[in-house]
Amino acid sequence: MITYEGFIADLRPLLNEIATLCDAKATHEDPTFRRWRNDLQSLLRQIKQAGYELPCVVHSADRYFGGISNFGQPTGFRAYQRDLDDTANELRVVIDAYQRYGEPLRIGAMRSPLNAELKAPQIVTLAWLWDHVPAKLWVVALSALVAAFSLGYFAATMSFVSKFVALFTAR
């Protein structure tokens, strides 16, 4: 399965290759361009299937890259270069976001409601507490328990405390 780090490593050469594709007079018919576009689309499909959401939408699958369109879309060499430039900008955003912020969360992790209300169970068990209480709170609770035990033990060894307790327990 693809990792996000591997995705970025595979994306960098595709971004660098755009400079060599800018002069392809055959535009979208150029075999080198067709291999590059297929590699890019395959890589984008793999990372989406792995559950990652990119920091921007990469529209390369929707672009004509200078192709002929019957719907009045711009065609020709200038349109090809513009579409390559737009794709290069998008790929730079993806790579720069990784360099600045690291690996993004997976889509499932992003879609989980952060402020969702937790319903109280019928019976509170240790298993439920283990699953729903943050680790930091477990550490605080255990620390408080150890501190209380230590304080009680220390107090029991002090002569002042034992004399004070003896006043109330003596008959």
pLDDT bin (cut points 50, 70, 90) of residue 15 is: very high
Domain segments of the chain: what residues? 4-111, 126-169
Q: Evaluate if residue 41 carries a pLDDT over 80.
A: yes
Q: How many CB atoms sit inside 10 A of residue 27's CB?
A: 21
pLDDT bin (cut points 50, 70, 90) of residue 61 is: confident
Q: Evaluate if residue 27 carries a pLDDT over 80.
A: no
Report pLDDT digits (tens) over 70-129. Answer: 555 556 788 888 888 999 999 999 999 999 999 988 876 544 455 556 677 788 888 888
Q: Evaluate if residue 68 carries a pLDDT over 70.
A: no
pLDDT bin (cut points 50, 70, 90) of residue 46 is: very high
Report pLDDT digits (tens) over 124-144. Answer: 888 888 888 888 988 999 999
pLDDT attached to residue 1:
79
Q: Tell me the C-alpha distance between 45 and 9, whole Å.
A: 16
| Nearest-5° Cα angle at 109, 106 to 115 | 150
Q: Which of 66, 52, 75, 73 is nearest to 6 (CA)?
A: 52
Considering only residues 147 and 82, tell me which one the structure prediction assigns the higher pLDDT: 147
